Amino acid sequence: MTSSEEKAKSVQVFYASQTGNAESIARNIHKEAVKKGFDSQVYVLNDHEKVGFENVRVGVFVVSTTGDGDPPDNATKFWRVLRRKTRGLKNSKDGANGSSSASLYPNLKYAILGLGDTNYSNFCNTAKVLDSQLKKTGAKEFYPKGLADDGTGLEETVDPWIEKLWDALGKVVELKSESKSDDGGLHKAVSRLKLRDEDSASELSQSVHSEHLPNPQPFFVDYSGMKDIKALTGTPKLPTQSCNMVDAPLSGSELQRNSSSNSASSIDLLAFARDKVVSEYPEFIIPKKGNGTAGDVVESFVPRTGSTPTFLATITSAESLTTELKKDVKRTLLLELDLGETGRKLVNGKWRAGDSFGIWAPNDRLLVTAILDKLGVEVSDMEKPIRLSPIGSDGKNVEHEGSKLPSHLSLFEHTTTTLFELYQWAVDLTSGTGLMKKQLIRYLASACTQVDDRDRLLYLCSRQGLKEWSKFRDQAPRLLDILQAFPSCHPDPVFLIELLPPLVPRAYSIASTPQTTSSSRNGSWKFAFNIVKYQTQVVDPSTNKMIAVSREGLCTPWLDHITGNIAPKTKLSNLKIQIPVFLRARQNDFFLPSPAESGDESPSRPIIMIGPGTGIAAFIGFLEQATNERLCENTDSPPKEPEMILFYGCRYWDHDFLFQSKLEEFKSKGPLSDLYISLSRDEVKSHTFKSLTGSFKSKYVQHEMARPEVAKNLCKLIVDKDALIYVCGDAQGMGKDVNNALADIIFEYLLENPKKANELLSDIHDPGNGMGKDLARQDAEQNVTKIQILQLLMKWIQTKKYRRDLWA
Ligand code: NAP
């Protein structure tokens, strides 16, 4: 900064967060900035308009990446606006002013902290794209970007990045006030902590067992390394609390709700929790302001991220699609939702086959009860009416001063709630430490009364305990498991809600289409999913014995439970079970182009669909849409039906082949021209469809695609007939492998077709090989490289020829 440039008066911290990590880091940066004397505000990126983004002088961005390199839901609006504004602008060199493109935000100075995971493709894509987009606007980076990898531990990058941020920030933002001391000396105490080196520290492992319901699950940590350590370093700062609870008087309707839901203050805990479960279809009480009829908008749950507010839809049927005859077959359910009148109005005209929706699922009541009990909350206090009250920088409660609460709690601001409700609906109690932050462990350490417990937790979140931290995270213990393992840990139940991972809605593809001949179907969504509930074996290192540990997801076991855990391969109809849902904002262009959108040509472009497992769900919608379009075809003019090809994979023909009869029908009656099946665990034998007979030898979809005769046909469609390629399913394994397989088969095809190679690769150069060479004048056969083909696939993603809906 030149001396003539004035420092900004304040800093704005922005976050784009899917699971709450980026938000929590952004809020901590904001809090620390305030403590250090900066004037700071913190905002979710989608609030850019409210903030007046064009006037922001210094911005710190903490952004995560989801799915296939997409921005989180709460940044999609900002993303669209930024892309629209920068479309056609060139990158200004180093963000310097001077070109016409550099006039959009010439006064903005920014720093970006990206969160991602190198196990998935497009690592930290949101941060990288944000950086290049901001550069295009003429904004200048004042502090180099940090890219944190959740695969190896976010804190490895996050902590040092934040530590050095303050110097850089001091050069561009002026201090408003004197810096305040950070955590009352506790942090120093940690770095000077002298660990005792006898018995407990040298003990090999710690296990947790309990006979009570729900069972705390064991996890193992090797603390033996502690005895050689003189002092711990790198432990996170003790977080500061942003709110506490105050008693709240009950309003009339709340009184009614409470009296119908809470019958007991004197009965024992398990009975208390069980009492809430109605035998046939267990009920749950949604914290909301509506009166509970289908289609009601659930005001307390309105997410800022959806394309509609949250509303109540009714599950009308449930079908189990898999057998239980094989141990390694996942249980898959297909549910149908009636959106109700309000839901229909909300989604009307806004969705199409390929879209997805979100479900808010509560934590299990028994688990909530067990945790609150462990936290020392009396049964009579679990459902006592309270309000959350934000704490100001002077440590006093601030009322009516706008939201100072983390966003997962702001849903409950200004309403009367209960601890039970907050634990059931605000935080994720099942996802385990996979989503937990070291800061939470740091806080839990400070809440221990026994030195043993405290030291072990501090070790876990220290630099010295890094290896054990990663093993601990891999075992994903839940809060209940941790509280059981550290019995002297008595954290404050309200502070804990701030630090736990927020409860986020779960997303599912809609396996149906709005375009249907029967108009009633316009108001229904179908969706299919696996029940995430399994047992893993962990080894107790002290005994070398294997111990079975149960793990389960949040939403899918709940859906299974409320639909009555139906028997395999059966269907229940006439159900009436309400759940809170919303239509998600569209993340990508995962839909079939309609003639109106892409000109008359596009419906005749072949469609290649690749979707193993529940990735098939979206394609069922596509195929229904194509079927409907066929029915609506004007018989006078010849139909322009696209060739549609599907690659589907499952484990066994007889046990988890989802939508088998539907696919059979699509294949025998159309619109499916070819159906390729791969079976990953079945023995090779002959199976018969009416329209498809054969022995299915490929293990995975990409192996089927690579079979010479299939690959040749595929390439002809892709290269010669300009087919559209759609891939849906798992981002981590399948998405990457299918991309590589596509690159391989196109590579082989182009080697044999140099003319086509010239055409397709004329503007794509391999920096390591063909860089700068004009392929038109070269012998293509020697110049086609794998890197070029991978770049070609990237180009096809940009031009929407190749569309992916990949989920982590
Ligand atoms: P899955 O576990 O991915 O298994 C389906 C088949 O794919 C199995 O035969 C499996 O074989 C095989 N497979 C495993 N690794 C593979 C790889 N690297 N390449 C190709 N095939 C591979 O199926 P799923 O459990 O149903 O999961 C599907 C994914 O789709 C999940 O990530 C889910 O989040 C996502 N998704 C779900 C929806 C929805 O609406 N429910 C929508 C879109 C996407 P083995 O297991 O025998 O190795």
* Contact between 583 and 351 (Cβ < 8 Å): yes
* Alpha helices per DSSP H over 404-475: 407-410, 419-425, 438-446, 451-460, 466-475
pLDDT (tens digit per residue) in 47-102: 888 888 999 999 999 999 987 788 898 888 899 888 888 876 655 444 444 444 45
Which of 676, 679, 730 to mutate to test ligand 1, by most ligand atoms within 8 A of the CB atom?
730
Task: Identify which has the larger pLDDT, 689 or 595.
Answer: 689
Distance in angstroms (rounded) separating the CA atoms of residues 38 and 251: 41
Are residue 216 and residue 311 in the same domain, yes or no? no
Q: Are residues 372 and 324 in the same domain?
A: no
In a domain, 487, yes or no: yes
Neighbours of 540 (CB within 10 A): 15
258 in the same domain as 126: no
* pLDDT for the residue numbered 284: 54
Residue 68 falls inside a structural domain: yes
| pLDDT, tens only, 593-625 | 876 555 554 557 999 999 999 999 999 999 999
Greatest mean pLDDT range, 411-425, 538-552, 553-567, 574-588: 553-567
pLDDT band at 775 (very low <50, low <70, confident <90, very high): very low
Write down the pLDDT at residue 699. Answer: 93
The DSSP string of 195-241 is PP-SHHHH---------SSSPPPP-----GGGGG-S----PPPPPPP
Lowest mean pLDDT among 227-241, 498-512, 723-737: 227-241
Q: Is the pLDDT of residue 296 over 90?
A: no
**CATH code assigned at 435:** 1.20.990.10
Tell me how many domains the chain contains.
Answer: 4
- Statement to judge: residues 562 and 687 lie in one domain: no
Do residues 619 and 738 share a domain?
yes
Boundaries of domain holding 721: 607-807
- Cα of 436 vs centre of ligand 1, distance in Å, is 25
In this prediction, residues 479-500 reach a mean pLDDT of 94
Percent of the chain with pLDDT over 90: 43
Q: Give per-residue pLDDT as tens, 459-475.
A: 999 989 988 988 888 88
In a domain, 275, yes or no: yes
- Among 494-498, 510-514, 776-780, the range scoring the smallest mean pLDDT is 776-780
Q: What is the pLDDT of residue 241?
A: 85
Do 336 and 219 belong together in one domain?
Answer: no
Across the range 235-242, mean pLDDT stands at 83
What CATH number is associated with residue 332?
A: 2.40.30.10
pLDDT score of 107? 92
- Position 202 pLDDT exceeds 50: no
pLDDT of residue 261: 41
Distance in angstroms (rounded) separating the CA atoms of residues 116 and 522: 37
**Ligand 1 pocket residues where CB is under 6 Å:** 330, 508-509, 527-530, 612-615, 617, 649-651, 680-681, 700-702, 728-730, 733-734, 737, 805, 807
Label residue 380 by pLDDT band (50, 70, 90). Answer: confident
Cα 535 to averaged position of ligand 1 atoms, centre (Å): 18
* Ligand 1 mean position, distance from CA 594 (Å): 28
Residue with CA nearest ligand 1 atom 1: 613
CA angle 432, 436, 439 (to 5 degrees): 150
Measure 612 CA to ligand 1 centroid, in angstroms. Answer: 5
**pLDDT tens figures, 342-353:** 889 889 889 999
CA dihedral 796, 799, 800, 805 (to 10 degrees): 60
Probe residue for ligand 1, chosen from 655, 680, 728, 732 as the CB with the greatest number of ligand atoms within 8 Å = 680
Q: How far is the CA of 385 from the centre of ligand 1 (A)?
A: 44
* pTM confidence score: 0.82
Of 299, 384, 301, 312, give the one whose Cα is nearest residue 342: 312
Is the model's pLDDT at 774 over the cut of 90? no
pLDDT of residue 392: 74
Residue 194 lies in a domain: no
Least confident of 38-52, 461-475, 531-545, 578-592: 531-545
Q: Which atom of ligand 1 is nearest to the CA of 529?
A: 41
Mutation test residue for ligand 1: of 614, 652, 737, the one with most atoms within 8 Å of CB: 614
| 660 belongs to a structural domain | yes
pLDDT-derived band at 366 (thresholds 50, 70, 90) equals confident
- As a whole number, the mean pLDDT across the chain is 81
Q: Distance between CA 687 and CA 79 in Å, rounded?
A: 48
In a domain, 177, yes or no: no
Closest Cα to atom 44, ligand 1: which residue? 729
Output the CA 740–ligand 1 centroid distance in Å: 17
Model confidence at 248, pLDDT cuts 50, 70, 90, reads confident
Residue 190 in domain: no
Residues 644 and 561 in one domain: no
